[in-house]
Amino acid sequence: MLDDELIDYISQVKSPFEEDDGLTQEELEYRGYLRYCQDCILKSIGTNECFTQINLYWSELKEKLTQSELEQFVTIAISNIVKSYKMSFLSDTVIREDNNQDYEKKEKLFLFLEHNRWLKYFTKCLSFIDPSLIRSEEKLKVFLDADYDSFVEKLLKYKSLHPWLREYFLYCSRSDGIETLYLILKKDLFSVVIEQNSKTKKENKNDNDNQEVKEVSV
């Protein structure tokens, strides 16, 4: 069943009797649907909801939009990312000075930050986060301030890290970097804590298994 917002999008499309590249009403309505899909993703950037919206709509957008439309979409997405995570240094310096601002770089950055691909990297680079920090914004910021330098050092060792993020965390001010890290983590800190705890339990189990093997060997 269509939701109210989608119905509004479709109801605003032109009649097939109006001039619009000879498209039928059905084709015009589908265009309205694609605009709706794009807006669902763009409006959710900076929140954990964006992961779900990308799962719902990104494949279809990739298939149905023209290359020009895709480039326009990811350009707007990057602009929204910059605003959401307060990364003005990224747009004002890093991207502007890159002579190769191709579509692929923009798409990869968009998906890295909004389809939770950052989770694998950040979880491994951060020190263990006490679950109690989920409920305290102030304590989380204190933790990130203490852990930030170590985090950046570990993050930059990843050769697969997006080049724009590498430049950003390498050259942005410390305060900007901490704020960006906080805003990214805040949208899904629970998953970071779960992932770290799962990793710790696995490592402890391996240590216990190894200890048992040693004892048997003796």
Query: What's the pLDDT score for residue 12?
Result: 60
Q: Is residue 165 part of a domain?
A: yes
Q: Is residue 57 within 8 Å of residue 34, measured between CB atoms?
A: no
Q: Is residue 97 part of a domain?
A: no
Contacts of 126 (CB under 8 A, 6+ apart): 147, 151, 192, 196
**What ranges in 14-136 are assigned the alpha helix state H?**
25-44, 49-64, 67-84, 88-89, 103-114, 118-125
Query: What's the pLDDT score for residue 62?
Result: 97
Q: What single DSSP character describes residue 160?
A: T
Domain count, the chain: 1
Query: What's the pLDDT score for residue 197?
Result: 87
**Cα 99 from Cα 95, distance rounded (Å):** 8
In the predicted model, residues of the chain with pLDDT beneath 70 are 1-21, 200-218
Q: Is residue 1 part of a domain?
A: no
Q: Is residue 86 within 8 Å of residue 179, measured between CB atoms?
A: yes
Q: Is residue 177 part of a domain?
A: yes
Query: What's the pLDDT score for residue 212?
Result: 43
Query: What's the pLDDT score for residue 25?
Result: 84
| CB atoms inside a 10 Å sphere around CB 55 | 10
**Cα 20 from Cα 26, distance rounded (Å):** 12
Q: Is residue 209 part of a domain?
A: yes
Query: What's the pLDDT score for residue 211?
Result: 46
Q: Is residue 67 part of a domain?
A: no
Q: Is residue 44 part of a domain?
A: no
Q: Is residue 201 part of a domain?
A: yes
Query: What's the pLDDT score for residue 203?
Result: 57
Q: Which domain holds residue 168?
A: 116-213
Contacts of 142 (CB under 8 A, 6+ apart): none
